[in-house]
């Protein structure tokens, strides 16, 4: 009897590379490396089990390794949570026109920094300034990578080595590690906290003003709310105080009033039964020297940070070296312009997905929920619930909705939610009180079919 060496039974790298299915992966060092890894794995199997895997298994393992590497890490998911601006799921979905504009600007060359009429160098900032000035009433605007960068840029350019006064209740962490005291420290400005966590009066700000003060800053509490015994001066009152401190030289504006409003709301949220979110127009109109907001929260466009305000200040920001480091790319400029055009044309409620979801009539949500529940079976039924605006805007604010509730026990529902998340396409649902909840409000109607197939697949008994 001969004892065969199982390691000898392993195919060579070249032999596996010659396999038709392996060849279909392409050629080059990447595929060779996967083949080496598969053979390495087979050696480990032999060391453990004493037998070589079949060649077929080795080919399968190469294909599996390739799939794992080539599968896109960032992929679309269906958001059935009912949280409209979901930070972890990519914030604002974009309008068709916005996506088309981004694709058009990406596909070829563009006049990004080129004036077509004079035929000479232009500025990338020019494309967004006109619509922003129109919409906000500000003299000027500059747009950067995100709102965190916008605040950092402004403080770095306008207040280094000087003091910035902020209410103790507003020296907050916004999320994702954006902490106002740390951003101030990074900019070189010195934070002067005034008042208490729940109550800050105008006189607290007034008492803190020194020769070292550069600005008063307001930060909108985007992701939490202090309720009850609270007090904070209006932006008008803060503007009055900041601008009353007129400097010695004529034309000097005294202190700056910086207003970080966060969500970039341009429409009245109260018309949908929500708390009034501060709008950009109100902030500019009340006298903020610079107003800061995101492009991808309630504005409903691509990720960006927008600074609207006084022309002389915006000019200073444009010339600061950080402006170059945090500038926008051409696709975002094109996309943001297309989103802003929806507002200019008065069609934001029907075109901007975030606002389409906020203003979605309950009857349509109910109709879809009934269809979903009927198709899903398994005791699914329609219940009343709330959709959240979410994501750094309107904390705790919600809209009435209809949810599809799938009943189950704790572990069973955890498993169902996992199967939905790991299915194709992934579906993210809410689990509350022994029910799995699906909210049609945040699911595009053209995703209904894919969602139902995913739900049925997840509910089907495991083979």
Applying CB under 6 A, which residues contact ligand PLP?
146-148, 174, 178, 219-220, 222, 260, 262-263, 294, 305, 392
Would you say 191 or 458 has its CB closer to ligand PLP? 191
For residue 263, the minimal CB distance to ligand PLP (Å) is: 6
For residue 84, the minimal CB distance to ligand PLP (Å) is: 15
Would you say 164 or 413 has its CB closer to ligand PLP? 164
Question: Which residues have CB under 8 Å from 421's CB, separation 6+?
Answer: 77, 427, 428
Whole-number Å distance between alpha carbons of 70 and 158: 46
For residue 201, the minimal CB distance to ligand PLP (Å) is: 22
Name the phi and psi angles at 444, rounded to 5. Answer: -65, 140
For residue 262, the minimal CB distance to ligand PLP (Å) is: 3
Element (H, E) at 294: strand 290-294
In the three-class reduction of DSSP (H, G, I as helix; E, B as strand; rest coil), residue 257 is classed as strand
Would you say 77 or 221 has its CB closer to ligand PLP? 221
For residue 109, the minimal CB distance to ligand PLP (Å) is: 29
* Nearest in space to 214 (alpha carbons), one of 123, 313, 124, 300: 313
Q: Tokens 């055009």 belong to which residue?
A: 341
Closest CB to ligand PLP: residue number: 262
Whole-number Å distance between alpha carbons of 379 and 383: 12
For 197-222, b/e burial (b = at least 16 CB within 10 A) is eeebbbebbeebbeeebbbbbbbbeb
For residue 170, the minimal CB distance to ligand PLP (Å) is: 9
Q: Are 35 and 62 in contact (CB under 8 A)?
A: yes
Would you say 193 or 260 has its CB closer to ligand PLP? 260
Would you say 218 or 368 has its CB closer to ligand PLP? 218
Q: Tokens 């000035």 belong to which residue?
A: 133
Would you say 11 or 300 has its CB closer to ligand PLP? 300
For residue 304, the minimal CB distance to ligand PLP (Å) is: 7
Would you say 62 or 152 has its CB closer to ligand PLP? 152
Q: Are 453 and 372 in contact (CB under 8 A)?
A: no
Would you say 262 or 385 has its CB closer to ligand PLP? 262
For residue 332, the minimal CB distance to ligand PLP (Å) is: 12
Q: Are 149 and 305 in contact (CB under 8 A)?
A: yes
Would you say 296 or 439 has its CB closer to ligand PLP? 296
C-alpha distances (whole Å) from 375 to each of 16, 162, 425, 436, 451 are: 46, 63, 18, 15, 11
Extract the tokens encoding 162. Answer: 């000087």
For residue 393, the minimal CB distance to ligand PLP (Å) is: 7
Would you say 298 or 360 has its CB closer to ligand PLP? 298
For residue 281, the minimal CB distance to ligand PLP (Å) is: 17
Would you say 79 or 147 has its CB closer to ligand PLP? 147
For residue 45, the minimal CB distance to ligand PLP (Å) is: 48
Whole-number Å distance between alpha carbons of 203 and 211: 17
Strands, sheet with 213-219, edge to edge from the N-terminal-most edge strand: 140-144, 305-309, 290-294, 256-262, 213-219, 163-167, 190-194
Query: For 345-385, where are the alpha helices, taking DSSP H only?
Result: 348-351, 353-358, 362-376
User: 306: buried, middle or exposed (CB in 10 Å: 19+, 13-18, 0-12)?
Assistant: buried
* Terminal-residue alpha carbon distance, the chain: 43
Strand duo 430-432 + 435-438: pairing:
antiparallel
For 251-275, b/e burial (b = at least 16 CB within 10 A) is eeeebbbbbbbbbbbbbebeeeebe
């Amino acid at each position: 009897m001969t004892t065969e060496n199982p390691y000898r039974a392993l195919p060579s790298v070249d032999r596996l590379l010659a396999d038709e299915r392996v060849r279909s992966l392409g050629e080059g060092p990447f595929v060779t490396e996967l083949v080496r890894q598969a053979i390495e794995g087979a050696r480990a199997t032999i060391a453990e089990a004493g037998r070589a895997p079949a060649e077929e298994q080795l080919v399968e393992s190469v294909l599996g390794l390739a799939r794992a590497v080539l599968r896109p890490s960032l992929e679309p998911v269906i958001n059935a949570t009912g949280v409209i601006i979901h930070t972890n799921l990519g914030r604002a979905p974009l309008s068709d026109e916005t996506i088309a504009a981004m694709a058009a600007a990406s596909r070829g060359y563009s006049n990004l920094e080129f004036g077509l009429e004079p035929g000479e160098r232009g500025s990338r900032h020019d494309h967004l300034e006109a619509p922003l000035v129109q919409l906000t009433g500000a003299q000027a605007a500059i747009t950067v990578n995100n709102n965190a960068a916008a605040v950092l840029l402004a403080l770095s350019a306008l207040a280094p080595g000087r003091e910035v006064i902020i209410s103790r209740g507003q020296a907050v962490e916004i999320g994702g590690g954006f902490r106002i005291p740390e951003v101030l420290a990074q900019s070189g400005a010195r934070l002067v906290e005034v008042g208490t966590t729940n109550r800050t009066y105008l006189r607290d700000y007034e008492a803190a003003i020194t020769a070292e003060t550069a600005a008063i800053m307001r930060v909108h509490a985007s992701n939490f709310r202090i309720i009850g015994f609270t007090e904070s001066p209006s932006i008008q009152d803060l503007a009055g105080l900041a601008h009353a401190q007129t400097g010695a030289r004529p034309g000097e504006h005294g202190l700056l009033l910086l207003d970080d409003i966060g969500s970039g709301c341009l429409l009245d949220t109260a018309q949908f039964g929500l708390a009034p979110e501060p709008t950009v127009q109100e902030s500019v109109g009340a006298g903020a020297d610079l107003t800061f907001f995101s492009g991808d929260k309630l504005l409903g466009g691509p990720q960006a940070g927008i600074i609207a305000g006084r022309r002389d200040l915006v000019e200073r920001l444009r010339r600061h070296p950080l402006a170059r480091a945090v500038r926008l790319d051409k696709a975002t400029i094109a996309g943001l312009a297309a989103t802003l055009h929806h507002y200019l044309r008065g069609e934001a409620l029907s075109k901007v997905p975030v606002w389409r979801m906020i203003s979605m009539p309950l009857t349509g949500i109910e109709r879809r929920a009934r269809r979903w529940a009927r198709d899903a079976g398994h005791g699914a039924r329609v219940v009343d619930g709330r959709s959240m605006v979410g994501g750094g805007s309107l904390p705790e604010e919600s809209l009435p909705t209809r949810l599809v509730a799938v009943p189950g026990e704790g572990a069973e529902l955890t498993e169902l939610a996992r199967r939905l998340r790991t299915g194709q396409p992934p579906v993210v649902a809410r689990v509350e009180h022994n029910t799995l909840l699906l909210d049609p409000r945040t699911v595009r109607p053209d995703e209904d079919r894919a969602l139902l197939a995913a739900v049925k697949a997840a509910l089907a008994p495991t083979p």
